[in-house]
Amino acid sequence: MGCVKRNVCVWFFGSVCHGFDETAMKLTVSAAFTTMVGTGNFVIFVSLLGIHCDSFYKEDLMAESVLVTGGAGYIGSVVVSQLLEQGDQVIVYDNLSKGRLASVPANAKFIQGDISDRAALDRLFQENSIDAVMHFAAFIEAGESMQLPEKYFRNNTANTLNLLEAMIAHKISRFVFSSTAALFGTPERTPIEETDKLQPTNTYGASKLLVEEMLAWFHLIHGLCYASLRYFNAAGAAGKQGEDHHPESHLIPLTLQVALGQREFISIFGTDYPTPDGTCVRDYIHVSDLASAHLLVLDELKRKDKLIYNLGNGRGFSVREVIDTVRRVTSQAIPVKEAARRPGDPAILVASSEKIRKELNWTPRYSDLEAIVRSAWDWRRAYPHGYDEKSVSGH
């Protein structure tokens, strides 16, 4: 059973309908009843072709209004674009401490605000009709989290609790959480499955794990329907939306900066790991594929009340493989500087996505590393200094 506000039961006089064209049927029903409004459960009786059909959700027939916190960020902005493409109304709520206003599509409603501000959240929910919340607002630097743990527990954990309390107060019951595979710490096996032990080795991962624990209790006590998606490295670009962190710490954009002459070399931290070429192996997933998974679980929460999935593209790539791929794509030499291992870096981090593939038929479109890097390179050449140079949106 999932989380829905209003249920529309459509009955057709006659025998039970099997093997009908569901999309065509929904379009027919939607066209016939687009003017109907209501707040409770109601039933519509329709006679058509002597057929008796099962019920549909009103939410399946109508566009939704979705709040995206952190929607000016790298992943959040791509999710916003995909929501708009499927006809949903989107409200982006972001304090712009890390996000880029220029990444927000013009036809999304943008509100600058902080999830730490409960009064602002109450106004947000009072003044806007919101069906679901997708939560991306978080700090993500694992290294910094080990220097400033209080910053991560306050923003990632305490502020998310603030958001959840506001949701419950305003009776919003669907929540999609952008979690992290850092929950697993140094894994006992790879690829990592959803049931593997949660043992984060940094306070970034710990701050997200606390949120997942809160979600489980809110589900049990308040009936919150939620999905948590765990993944490692988002990469690539989606049209005019790309990766633009300040400061940048991710391998692919850093290596592309070398190709553009903005950085002298790329560092390899550790060359003696128990991997085929001695460098760390990591899971890279295209940001568009990540976004599509978020949309899938948002829809599935109409039918299910709890979803937890790992996301990956099926295999890992070593640091040297990534650098060699950037060389091929950019036709640049990419000087390398080898350095000592960084404390806490596991040799291999790869997440299994078999569960979401089987249950929701999610299939990454960009599983090839070269395609991921090429999309990032195309964006970086168009925006060599990031969003500071050109605006994607009309905000």
Q: What is the pLDDT of residues 121-156, one digit of tens each?
A: 999 999 999 999 999 999 999 889 999 999 999 999
The answer to whether residue 40 scores a pLDDT higher than 80 is no
130: its two tokens:
């919101």
Whole-number pLDDT of residue 220: 98
Torsion of CA 285, 190, 139, 286, to 10 degrees: 0
Residue 39 has pLDDT above 50, yes or no: no
Q: What is the mean pLDDT of residues 65-73?
A: 98
Nearest to 139 by CA among 249, 293, 26, 226: 249
Say whether pLDDT at 15 is over 50: no
Least trusted range by pLDDT, from 21-35, 210-224, 245-259: 21-35
Q: Which of 388, 253, 249 is nearest to 322 (CA)?
A: 253
| Topology given in CATH for the domain delimited by 65-248+264-388 | Rossmann fold (3.40.50)
Is residue 204 annotated as a catalytic residue, yes or no?
A: yes
pLDDT category, 342, cuts 50, 70, 90? Answer: confident
The active-site residue, picked from 93, 152, 204, 366, is 204
What is the distance between the alpha carbons of residues 269 and 109, in angstroms, rounded to a whole number? Answer: 42
Model confidence over 239-281: pLDDT tens digits? Answer: 999 999 888 889 999 999 999 999 999 999 999 999 999 999 9
Percent of the chain residues topping a pLDDT of 70: 84
Q: How do residues 298-341 score in pLDDT, each as one tens digit?
A: 999 999 999 999 999 878 999 999 999 999 999 999 999 999 99
Cβ proximity of 297 and 362 under 8 Å:
no
pLDDT tens sequence across 116-127? 999 999 999 999
**Where along the chain do its domains lie?**
7-61, 65-248+264-388
Higher per-residue confidence, 298 vs 342: 298
